[in-house]
Structure 1
Amino acid sequence: MASEIRENVWYSDEHEWVLELGDGTVKIGISDVAQHRLGDIVFVELPDQGQEIEAQDGIGTIESVKTVADLFTPVSGTVLAVNGELDTAPELVNEEPYDGGWMVHIRLKEDPNVALAHLMDAKAYVEFIER
């Protein structure tokens, strides 16, 4: 099954996606590629609301029937919200990785153009995963 790559989000080389929300905040999750590779997700551990984070920090874990993977943040800022639905329905990450399966909302520490400059657009991400 082909993975969905959305045009309106940015991607990290750790397979997180970042959606700019237009007000200095972003929504972050893992890509469809990542959830396919992990398999059936059974548990998601996320950071605390209000936590200050730096780009590349580990901010949680994603446990599947096959493995446990670390969740990294591709941007620096403050955690504004975590997706509490994943506590009881971690399978949302498999079913809707870009919608119901989002992980965190973050208020960016720096200007979005600077914060997102190192991330890949959809075309670059496709090239990255095909290597």
Structure 2
Amino acid sequence: MGATKFEIYTEELIRLSELAKAISHPARLKAVLIIANETDEDVTLKDIMEEIDLAQSTLSQHLKVLRDAGLVMTKLIVENNTSKQIYRINKLALEQINKLLNHLSDRIDLKQDDRFNAVKSFYSRLYEITNWNQCFNS
């Protein structure tokens, strides 16, 4: 039997991979964008369901992945004998992802050859995107 990831990799590396994995699904990424866009209002599951056409149970599972990874924080609020869970972005987690991407961006030194140009043309659509929310409109 092989070694576990906890024996091979540092805690920081495992944590960053879990953050990246959490936003690697389009529904979870869209949920993060929805939650991040609402700076003045509390975001509930109902609000997210209005924008993402998934079953409530499926969306709840996606939000659990985001919460377990630490990308979103939740708070239970009770009003008028009704409880609801609100979601907020964990800014520190997003800063960790940003640091990783900045580190990678600062370190890359790609050789200009045919393989690089093929990859660049494959991802050229991403360079044209200025409004990320448009990518996730249903």
More helix by share: 2
Same fold per TM (> 0.5)?
no
More strand by share: 1
Whose relative contact order is higher, 1 or 2, with alpha carbons under 8 Å and at least 6 apart? 1
Query: Which bin holds the TM-score, normalised by the shorter protein?
Result: under 0.3
With normalisation by structure 2, the TM-score equals 0.26
Between structure 1 and structure 2, the one with the greater Rg is 2
With normalisation by structure 1, the TM-score equals 0.27
